[in-house]
Amino acid sequence: MIQINLVKKLFIAIVLIAYLPLNAGAWGMTGHRIVGQIADYYLTAKARKAVYEVLGNQSPAMASNWPDFIKSDSTYNYLSSWHYVNLPADLDQHGVFNFLDTDKQANVYNKIPELIAQLKDKKQTAGQQKMAMRLLIHFLGDIHQPLHTGRKDDLGGNKISVTWFGQKSNLHRVWDEGLVDYQQLSYTEYAAAINHPTKEQLAQWQHTPLKDCVYESYLAANKIYAATKVDDKLSYRYNFEFVDLMNEQLLKGGIRLAQILNTIYG
Ligand SMILES: [Zn+2]
């Protein structure tokens, strides 16, 4: 009898563990893959060949999560500040540009041009190029997640606790994964579903300087901050209000990533 009870308890424990929600990092797994998948649509044949070669025949979508995976290895701790840029509140465009020009910290805005230069440098080893490529793909995603251009005092919304459909969360996490996962689409379905820029949007987004990409993300972050207070209960209404903004940021991220890669390998 005792043994049967133990088996029963073990079985219940295993079932419970299997249903615990998984915890992921920035933009979540799906958000980064959507950006990678959209970029794949817009690569020239020449650039696609080069990108897949550098990645060892991996797609940009699947390569996009590696910079989050390596957070589990302390060897890579030096990369942790590369995922975001913290900006003070209430800056106008000039203030944001000025901040970006003078901020000497290793941040996502400073590192993207360095990674582009590394990929153009033929003296880099295959291993160095692969790492730079995976980081570049990931950071083009991060720079379009508005709360990766958020404020320092609340750690980009990480310190703003909220609930998301009744579950304890924080504002940063809602934007990394809650809102994306709520749409219940795979990354390929998602990328296909939002890949409908107008001609004007496409032309504009393909030629946005990096500084303006940060400024757009900063403006989006300001809207998000203004709409949310600590301990807000976010659910249906929040999705209704912000899903279009989020989809546009994901689409822009993918289109701009492709443009950068097409320029490197064009
Ligand atoms: Zn990241």
* Distance between Cα 120 and ligand 1 center (Å): 23
Q: Is 86 helix (H, G, I), strand (E, B) or coil?
A: coil
pLDDT in tens, 7-38: 555 555 544 444 444 333 467 899 999 999 99
The predicted structure's pLDDT at residue 9: 56
* Distance between Cα 114 and ligand 1 center (Å): 17
* Distance between Cα 177 and ligand 1 center (Å): 12
Residue 168 sits at φ, ψ, to 5 deg, of -60, 130
> Do residues 99 and 24 make contact, with C-beta atoms less than 8 angstroms apart?
no
* Distance between Cα 146 and ligand 1 center (Å): 12
The predicted structure's pLDDT at residue 26: 65
* Distance between Cα 95 and ligand 1 center (Å): 25
The predicted structure's pLDDT at residue 5: 60
* Distance between Cα 63 and ligand 1 center (Å): 13
The closest of 37, 38, 41, 39 to 61, measured between CA atoms, is: 37
The predicted structure's pLDDT at residue 27: 78
* Distance between Cα 148 and ligand 1 center (Å): 8
The predicted structure's pLDDT at residue 151: 96
* Distance between Cα 231 and ligand 1 center (Å): 25
Residue 206 sits at φ, ψ, to 5 deg, of -75, -15
* Distance between Cα 75 and ligand 1 center (Å): 16
Structure tokens at 93: 């465009």
The closest of 221, 201, 219, 240 to 38, measured between CA atoms, is: 201
* Distance between Cα 6 and ligand 1 center (Å): 42
Ranges of each domain in the chain = 29-265
Helix (H) / strand (E) containing 169: strand 167-170
* Distance between Cα 143 and ligand 1 center (Å): 9
* Distance between Cα 71 and ligand 1 center (Å): 10
* Distance between Cα 216 and ligand 1 center (Å): 18
* Distance between Cα 33 and ligand 1 center (Å): 12
* Distance between Cα 28 and ligand 1 center (Å): 9
* Distance between Cα 79 and ligand 1 center (Å): 10
* Distance between Cα 247 and ligand 1 center (Å): 18
* Distance between Cα 27 and ligand 1 center (Å): 7
Within the chain, which residues score under 50 in pLDDT?
1-2, 14-25
> Do residues 262 and 44 make contact, with C-beta atoms less than 8 angstroms apart?
yes
Please state whether beta strands 161-164 and 167-170 pair in parallel, antiparallel, or not at all (unpaired): antiparallel
d(C-alpha 31, C-alpha 145), whole Å: 9
Helix (H) / strand (E) containing 161: strand 161-164
The predicted structure's pLDDT at residue 25: 45
> Do residues 24 and 173 make contact, with C-beta atoms less than 8 angstroms apart?
no
- Residue 115 has a CB neighbour count (10 Å cut-off) of 22
Domain range 29-265, CATH architecture: Orthogonal Bundle (1.10)
The predicted structure's pLDDT at residue 266: 87
The predicted structure's pLDDT at residue 218: 98
Q: Is 167 helix (H, G, I), strand (E, B) or coil?
A: strand
* Distance between Cα 24 and ligand 1 center (Å): 11
Structure tokens at 110: 């400073």
